[in-house]
Amino acid sequence: MARITLEEIAEIDKELPWARTLGLRVESLGEGEAKVTLPFAPSQLRPGGTISGPSMMALADYAMYIAVLSAIGRVELAVTTSLAINFLRKPPPGDIEADCRLLKLGKRLAYGEVWIHSPEGHGEEPVAHATATYSIPPER
């Protein structure tokens, strides 16, 4: 069971203007897991008609943030310390989805992976894979 609610996430999002601008939506969450959708917008495209890398990186980072909060509760000052992403296929214009799960949760660090899919383009085949580490503040 997640240690944060969708209502609490909506409150936190008020402090994340970039997430609101992108329209990121949390579809589901469990303890240490999150599914997030990035709705399509033409501003996300790069030359060649594919979703840009920075858009997918923002989706991966946000999904990881939500997964971390789902495991530790409302600790808004948890921050990204590293994010690595591999782009596997070109997603066509359309919504993209991220499935994130924590692989390790310690007292000060959380490490997880994010699989990004393009339901309209490649179905079950991932279009990107990211790993990320988050720093958790000592006082929580």
Distance of alpha carbon 51 from alpha carbon 33, whole angstroms: 24
Distance CA 67, CA 133 (A): 11
**pLDDT in 10s for each residue of the chain, 140 residues:** 999 999 999 999 999 999 999 999 999 999 999 999 999 999 999 999 999 999 999 999 999 999 999 999 999 999 999 999 999 999 999 999 999 999 999 999 999 999 999 988 767 799 999 999 999 999 75
| Residue-by-residue DSSP string for 61-102 | HHHHHHHHHHHH-S-TT-EEEEEEEEE-S-PPSS-EEEEEEE
Q: What is the pLDDT of residue 140?
A: 56
- End-to-end, the C-alpha distance of the chain in Å comes to 19
Which tokens hold the place of 57?
Answer: 């990186």
Identity of the amino acid at 19:
A
Amino acid 120: pLDDT:
82
